[in-house]
Structure 1
């Protein structure tokens, strides 16, 4: 299904595939030290851990013979995390000791969150560079409030019917307002294709749920009929096993649908993203993605969590190496843009709140 949204490659353009050279063994050494020091310092070292992780991953990401660089400063991130802990701590304290106040605190956090997301995008891109040229974000705080607060609230009032529109507008805001040097990105995915992807997701989930319910109900009724309609322990046990198997089957089917949705969505977004005259091309497939998640999960469980860094490297490698830059001309035709330091508070609070701000 992911092939539906693959874009055509210009005949005279050349493709530069992203390479990710990190290995699980190398990252495990970074990860285990980061984990131990973060525990010993009660979380303080997490800012330094993030910088070490990002520097390693950026340096391991290669495009057209050059690697990326991460320039974030640990102290800046730490200050932001302190603010994040205060905000989230205030909510938890209010929820525990005075629940009526928790709603007010939550509203205040929701009110400031778009600003934090905006600052996070600025910080993350400003502290990323390629071939000595930094990225940047020109989007305004007004746009952040519109796309991260206003439209989601409106989508909630429509019972989610506007969510594909919201998703498309957020991605357009993230991509089209980003730049590399003085060259701006562009995003031209139409809203209709987002609705098509979400329609596929919802349709498959509803169809799968209906089939699972019908099969379970039929088998459970058949077990009872074979035993003359009695309700003894053996019949009940058989019906419970059927229901349990049905739930597992429905869960597995749902995971496959979600993985397909993720692959199609990544292809849709990146196949409609452009940097100046250069276009991106994504070829992620859901069977590969599903196999990756299944093996990663099994390995993490069997190793009691020690496989986590290996799983992270495998997942990131597949996502990055599924993306190609279709180059039209030269990548060196970019003028560096000057920009001041950007506050890290937004990025750090967004990390604690679980926001996915990755482009």
Structure 2
């Protein structure tokens, strides 16, 4: 864990620091409330052929931000739909031009693909800046200060190396991204920091891969037993195929919650905000149960349970988080507000674009 004493030195004669005070995150929204927002968003997005989707995103973000609480205060989101619409229009236009050039010339398509690869990291950085600059807690904004040069390493070089090594470097690429994201995020003037090593990411990825192999082997055994029992008939082949497909989806359903739970715990248990730390205690088994029951009910309700499912999973993941406050949080926020006001830097560097990262 990041050593806060290096950033906040105290005199040798000072009294020992008090034990951190745990502040639990809360999510106070309900599925019925979000359902009303979700259904209106869906209908208006369909009627407007997708044009309303940025307004739908802002309404959704504001609902989840404003219902997430820490120390009896809520977060807020201030993004403007027109900025999101502009960002999506840029991405749509780039994708359309790329598709058209593929029918004209292979060389032209390759050249445009290279140009898009060079531009995309810049768009991702600006999207991160937009998201943080439009997020606040107790009226104080967050900020992202990552530079473009490092973004090319995180969003272009490391993913390319991961592909070239058949994803052997994927955990390292993921660790580099989280380090770039957290080490360049701040709340007011207070910096976040992360010290999660690459070995932790390799541990999460290797366990998830091991689970996938185990489920795959089990599915293969079941398919083999069914095929043998049914004597190689057409019906047996069909049942074996269905068993293989079911095994594949069970593997995905099992691995997804495990990966999300372990990754959230790894990242936030190694993240600090100035003198404050965090603790994440997501249990993979519990998250799997939530995802599985959400899936079953969503299927039986023809998708109408989706907003309730999102609220259920969000509530569990949010309420598994605790902030270990080294000092009263209201005093910390007040101090940061004064420092930001003195710097004249409340919104940092505004980039009026969001590509829905």
Q: TM-score, normalised by structure 1?
A: 0.85
Match of 1:263 among 261, 270, 273: 261
Alignment map for 1:1-359 (pairs within 5 Å):
12-95=19-102, 101-221=108-228, 223-224=230-231, 235-331=233-329, 332-333=331-332, 334-336=335-337, 337=340, 338=345, 339-340=347-348, 342-345=350-353, 347-348=354-355, 351=356, 355=357
Query: Are the aligned partners of 2:185 and 2:191 in contact in 1 as well (CA < 8 Å)?
Result: yes
In the TM superposition, what is the alpha-carbon distance from 1:246 to its structure 2 partner? 4.2
State the shift of 1:251 in Å.
Answer: 3.0
Which residue of structure 1 aligns with residue 8 of structure 2?
Answer: none
Describe the superposition over 1:50-89 as per-residue Cα deviations: whole angstroms up to 9, x where unpaired.
Answer: 2222222211111001001111122222222222221122
3-state SS of 1:296 partner = helix
Task: Give the C-alpha shift of residue 272 in structure 1.
Answer: 0.7
Pair 89,251 (structure 1): closer, same or farther in 2 beyond 3 Å: same
* 1:241-279 residue CA offsets vs partner (Å, 9 max, x unmatched): 244324423431342133212211111111111111111
Whole-Å separation in 2 of the counterparts to 1:141 and 1:41: 35
The secondary structure found in structure 1 opposite 2:163 is helix
Query: What SS does the corresponding residue of 2:322 show, helix, strand or coil?
Result: strand
Deviates most, 335-344 or 93-102: 93-102
The structure-2 alpha-carbon separation of the partners of 1:294 and 1:124, relative to structure 1 and needing over 3 Å to count, comes to same
Between the aligned partners of 1:132 and 1:173, the Cα distance in structure 2 is 25
Corresponding pairs, count = 332
- TM-superposed CA distance for 1:102, in Å, is 3.7
Alignment-derived partner of residue 9 in structure 2: none
| Residues 177-219 of structure 1: per-residue CA shift (max 9 Å, x gap) | 1000110001011111111111112222223323432443355
Distance, in Å, in 2 between the alignment partners of 1:307 and 1:208 is: 28
- Normalized against structure 2, the TM-score is what? 0.85
Question: With CA pairs under 8 Å and 6+ residues apart, which has the higher RCO, 1 or 2?
Answer: 1
Per the TM alignment, residue 36 of structure 1 is displaced from its structure 2 partner at its CA by 2.3
User: How far apart, CA to CA, are the structure 2 residues paired with 1:220 and 1:295?
Assistant: 30
- In structure 1, what is the Cα distance between the partners aligned to 2:92 and 2:255? 36
Distance 2:285 2:336 in 1: 40
Q: What is the Cα deviation at residue 22 of structure 1? A: 1.1
1:228 equivalent in structure 2 = none
In 2 relative to 1, CA 298–12 (structure 1 residues): closer, same or farther, beyond 3 Å?
same
